[in-house]
Amino acid sequence: AAAAAAPAEIPPAIHYSLFNVIDNTPGSPVFEPREDAEPPTFRFVRFPFHDTEQFRGKPKWPLIQEALATPVGSPADLLAVMRRYSDCRRDLRALDSLCSELDEETVAALFSKTIPFIAQLALALPTAIRCHMPLLDAGREASLSFTQYQAACLLANAFFNTFGDNRADFQSCFTFRSWLCDDCEGSIAKLNCIFHYFRRVQAQMPNGVLTFHRRILTPDLTVTWDTCSKPLRGATVTSEGRIEDDAPGMLHADFANMFIGGGVLGHGCVQEEILFVIKPECLISCLFCERMEPDESIHLVGFERFSNYVGYGSSFTWHSDHRDTTPRDSELRRRTALTAIDAINYRPRSVQSLFDRASQFKPEAVHRELHKAYVGFARSDLLPWVTGVATGNWGCGAFEGDKRLKALIQLLAASAGNNDVLRYFTFGDSDWPPELLSLSHGMAARGLRVCDLYRALLVALAHRARPEMLIRVVAEHLSSIPAPAPAP
């Protein structure tokens, strides 16, 4: 169907905060942890200090408290600590390798200063978060807000592997265990990023707010593509730069996995995973965000960047400190935002792939991606300061989507979502972007509408235009369409 269908029955939205604001003075706000007024009626995160959590028949939190009070002087000592409350069977080989690359003074500071500080943060979790923390379940519009201090305490527990395993429809476990154990360049790069984050917050704890917003296609967000009269917006297209470096004030596309974070807690080092380790507060979404459905996106708002990097994939490496000077909004969040949208996976033999590459040009696949991009890009009351969308080759790397098709889909979605600007980064690809630039500017100059491009795209796909000719065929069809009459 051409319309983005909303669920027949939509549960009421939840907007939940884990804190109260005592003083919202810019630069020096004061927060206090929120406490439950009554027992929760929703599914919630099981914290390691909850009475239900045990290890080998014993309450887990006292074991953690005792273990984390133990001095740690080496990777072997850290492993011994973790084994007192969790089944961590493998040696911490990646941490061993990292220590062998560092000078003696840095290693000594890591074990005498940084890791003890991480332990203090982990043990502070019961006082930092005093209420039940809801899960952001699939199928329900909801938002969840934390202080940056609360996020730091959660990340510290992930470092020490205190959360349980095996959660259906979520990341299997919220832990950095793989980074510590799997001896590869990606693990070492991630350890460098997270240790740098903890050193920064030890020097000065950031004092702001973070919000996660799960969006679904509610009735007020539905769109009928073949009659949508919203004007097409011109795109700026560049083969240079990166979304996270060169698009301030915009909503940044996170080329996500259906399980938010993708492979970030494992071996993955591509776009989403890199964003999450240079902005480590994003990682906590892996703890409470259920797998995304086709009509859902997740907005991550207020996240601070702590690191610069070089490389991508197997060459990804931590590079240097990053000082984020982005101003905060009236809710004490930095004016930074990611929109996590998961594309269809067309990679052959992938566990998550139910399609072959040719099927992405079928109308049902195009509609799925249109709906996904639209629910991610549509303007939100949470982000009044956003000037537009910054995106790129979404789903065209590991998931093997077609770049030209995905570019047209995203142009449609951004325009239908009332965004004035679409900034498209091609990450060094300079062969086909001029076609997109010419097409988008020509459509905007003629006053063409979303429905005009949508119909032209379906005509091109029905005629089985070759992928490399898709934008040209769409442009030819649009050239025969008279410009719509101006509104009275």
Task: Give the residue ranges of DSSP H helices in 294-393.
Answer: 363-377
Q: What is the C-alpha to C-alpha distance for residues 271 and 255, in angstroms, rounded to an integer?
A: 7
* CB distance 304 to 150 below 8 Å: no
Q: Is 254 a catalytic residue?
A: yes
| Cβ atoms within 10 Å of 25's Cβ, excluding its own | 9
* CB distance 404 to 432 below 8 Å: yes
Instruction: Name the catalytic one among 273, 281, 295, 400.
Output: 273
Instruction: Name the catalytic one among 141, 254, 290, 296.
Output: 254
Task: Give the residue ranges of DSSP H helices in 324-400.
Answer: 363-377
Q: What is the C-alpha to C-alpha distance for residues 383 and 301, in angstroms, rounded to an integer?
A: 8
| Cβ atoms within 10 Å of 349's Cβ, excluding its own | 5
Instruction: Name the catalytic one among 244, 272, 329, 435.
Output: 272
CA angle (305, 307, 309) in 5-degree steps: 125
Q: Is 272 a catalytic residue?
A: yes
- R_g of the chain, CA atoms, integer Å: 23
Cα atoms in the 13 Å half-sphere on the side-chain side of 457: 27
Q: Is 273 a catalytic residue?
A: yes
**Element spanning 455, H or E:** helix 450-462
Residues 6+ apart with CB under 8 A from 397: 255, 270, 271
Q: What is the C-alpha to C-alpha distance for residues 408 and 414, in angstroms, rounded to an integer?
A: 10
In three-state secondary structure terms, 408 is helix
* CB distance 238 to 424 below 8 Å: yes
In three-state secondary structure terms, 49 is coil
- The catalytic residues are 254, 272-273
